A and B are shown apart, each in its own frame.
Chain A
Amino acid sequence: MGPGLLGYTIRRLLWAIPVLFVISLLVFYMLRLAPGDPVDAILGQRFQEDQAAVLRKKYGYDQPIHVQYVKYLQNLARGDLGVSIRHQQFTVSEVIIPKIWVSTRLGLIALVISFTLGIFAGIYAALARGTFLDPLTISFWLAIDAVPVFVAAPALMWLFALKLDLVGLGWRGFASPNIILPILVLSLPGTAGIARFVRASVLGVLQEDYVRTARAKGLPERTVVFTHVARNALLPLITVIGLSLPGVAGGALIVEQLFGIPGIGREGFDAVLAPDFDVILALVLFGSLLFVLANIAVDILYAVIDPRIRLGAGRG
């Protein structure tokens, strides 16, 4: 599009810097102000005070918080995310990057399945409106969605691993059939929301004048559905897709926990419990960065595709 869009993009990207700065400040202070510092976590319950003091000095925990924060930012600017308390030989990046990669791949597979199922279910339900198939389709997915992950997981494990003996439990990588259960548990619950979204959107578009016009001029129903309806109805889905991407990289804490997947969600949980400050902080910043970028990308894509949306236009 025109120069307006470029300016908007640059403005939004520049906005992202203070946003991320505020997030890092908030989270840094929250973590540091919480009782119990990482040194307690390293040493456990019994330790000598002088030993603790040495460690505090080594990691800089004896400094005032704002000094620690500035130091953290300086390190961050150099790409140094700090040191993990629990994995002492490794830097934070070395700990989290492989795990992010596992979670992202797993999440993307689940995302593709969810969206494929959801789009088809949604369009199907919308076109079946007026028959019992519409509420049946939606209710079916809503019922699936209502089962908490930590109920579905043991139930599926029991059925497929213990009773039918089709898959094993435990993580064997992406090539093993063991991956089927976590993928199911990750992808199926999301389908309901997408189906419902698509259905509402399709129903809205079905009433647009241009659909009536398309029908009135005698276009075959298939052309109407796929070119006029689906294309416009799936447009708002960009938001949903774009905003679910950061979550994918953030991993799925409970599913990873239950299935023993070495992903980033589980790492985050362990880091919170430890507490492993630098890992938590890195994960929060990473998640936030992805989210902010996804937001910007969604807005820009939207403006490119639908010129009716005026970007950042203030009124009077």
Chain B
Amino acid sequence: MRSSTRAFASARDGAEAVSEEAVITPAVPEAHPVSPGRRMVRTLLRKKLAVLALIYLSLFYFFGIFGPLLAPQDPYEQNLSAETRLQGPSAEHWLGTDRLGRDIASRVVYATRTTVVFTVVVLISGSLFLGLGLGLLAGYRGGWVDTLIMRVGEVMGGLPTLLLMLAITAAFRTRINDVSFWLEDHTWLGDDAATVTKFGIIVLATLPFAWIGSTRIVRSQALAIREEAYVLAAEAMGAGTWRVVSRHILPGVMPLFIMGVSAGMAGTAGAEVTLSFLGLGIDPPTASFGSLIADGAGPQTLERYPHLLLAPAIPVALFFFAWNLLGDALVDLLSPRGHLNG
């Protein structure tokens, strides 16, 4: 009795949050409230934070996509006179100007575009296709498929990631001009060719490492679940591979996968920001949070021109925070067992 009311409450809980996020509304009957006070506080704080995170991320991605329309000024326009360089926030320049007199607010908006494009590309290609797919295959199939996938993963994951990413980008960057000139002449990219090439390089540097985390999580979870009694029972009753994987393995794998992906999202975006900070990613004049932060990093600079560091650092830290919060809340929400515990 007790546990069934709790299960009800949690299902309701989940349904509320799902409809708030406007995804799907499962047909869950109206249940009576159980323990109002504590659960309310917790739900309020936890889910509110997740909703806030989602709102912030939507806003971030919106800015990323429609940046050119929203940016208050031209992010590339320099103004080198003394009274327009390194100015603090003002009515004309909301977040001040940088060393070259460029409008920082506009550069931040353009930097979100860099982050948005990069995360979407790596998420779809790295985590979703490679990560989840290979993880399920390895975990449930086992045998030589598992061995092969995990050995390849071991080779790739065994490499010191940041060092290799640096080596790859450094090696390819010497060819940037050749490639971007070719792209400029032979495709419709035109002036964007150099930026596209730099994007290509950092995606190339990130992708070999982007799938391993999720694959490892999914695989180890699938490996544990396939030993569970209910999976063995389903198999004994003649359920096909697809049914067992989709109905029994996947639900158990999902929470950890999503936790992995959302935690990985901050890391993925972080890779670009880090490479750009080190001057090996997306570099000026194209705006990136990494290079914007690099402009303002340093205790003395922070003392004199705090806006140089704070203007890009706050939005990007909130972006990472939002992904972390969302992932955390999602785990809580999606975990099939987590809710039974009050």
A interface list, Cβ under 8 A from B: 15, 19, 22-23, 26-27, 30-31, 34-36, 129-132, 134-136, 138-139, 142-143, 145-148, 150-151, 153-155, 157-158, 161-162, 169, 192-193, 196, 200, 203-204, 206-207, 239, 246-247, 250, 253-254, 258, 265, 268-269, 272-273, 275, 280, 283-284, 287-288, 291-292, 295, 308-310, 313-315
Contact = CB atoms under 8 A, between A and B. Distances in A.
B36 interface: no
Given A23-B159, A280-B167, A147 B38 contact: no
A229 to B, nearest CB: 12
Contact of A206 (B163, B298, B341): B341
B159 A287 contact: yes
A158 B42 contact: no
A228 to B, nearest CB: 15
Interface stretch (B71-79, B119-127, B269-277): B269-277
B174 A203 contact: no
B157 A131 contact: no
B158 A19 contact: yes
Given A207-B337, A250-B160, A280-B163, A142 B293 contact: no
A143 B317 CA distance: 8
B166 interface: yes
A106 B169 CA distance: 28
A190 to B, nearest CB: 12
B42 A134 contact: yes
Interface string B130-152: 00000000000111101000010
B162 interface: yes
Given A23-B155, A148-B316, A269-B278, A139 B163 contact: no
A295 B142 contact: no
A132 B44 CA distance: 9
B44 to A, nearest CB: 8
B70 interface: no
B112 to A, nearest CB: 15
Instruction: Tell which of B294, B299, B301 has the most Cβ of chain A within 10 Å.
Output: B299
B168 interface: yes
A11 to B, nearest CB: 11
19 contacts: A23-B158, A23-B159, A35-B174, A129-B342, A130-B39, A130-B42, A131-B41, A148-B313, A148-B320, A151-B293, A158-B303, A162-B303, A169-B299, A247-B160, A275-B167, A292-B154, A308-B227, A314-B143, A314-B146
A179 to B, nearest CB: 17
Contacts of A36: 174
A-B interface, 3 closest residue pairs, ranked by CB to CB distance from nearest: A34-B171, A287-B160, A146-B321
Contact of A138 (B163, B313, B328): B328
A273 B163 CA distance: 11
B302 to A, nearest CB: 5
A35 B175 contact: yes
Contacts of B284: none
A306 to B, nearest CB: 10
Contact of B342 (A130, A145, A161): A130
B267 to A, nearest CB: 10
B42 A135 contact: yes
Contact of A146 (B172, B309, B318): B318
B263 interface: yes
A221 to B, nearest CB: 15
B159 A27 contact: yes
B54 interface: no
B338 interface: yes
B51 interface: no
B171 A154 contact: no
B282 interface: no
Contacts of B298: 154
A151 B328 contact: no
Given A150-B293, A158-B302, A250 B154 contact: no
Interface of B: 38-39, 41-42, 45-46, 49, 141-144, 146, 151, 154-155, 157-160, 162-164, 166-168, 170-172, 174-175, 220, 223-224, 226-227, 259, 263, 266, 270, 273-274, 277-278, 293-294, 296-303, 309, 313, 316-321, 324-325, 328, 331, 335, 337-338, 340-342
Contacts of B263: 193
Given A19-B155, A19-B158, A295-B154, A147 B317 contact: yes
A287 B163 contact: yes
Contacts of A247: 160
A295 to B, nearest CB: 6
B317 A204 contact: no
A171 to B, nearest CB: 16
B172 to A, nearest CB: 8
Contacts of B259: 196, 200
A90 to B, nearest CB: 20
A16 B277 CA distance: 35
A193 B270 CA distance: 15
Nearest to B319: A146
Contacts of B297: 150-151, 153-154, 258
Nearest to A169: B299
A161 B317 contact: no
B313 A129 contact: no
Contacts of B154: 19, 291-292, 295
A23 B153 CA distance: 12
A136 B42 CA distance: 9
B328 A142 contact: yes
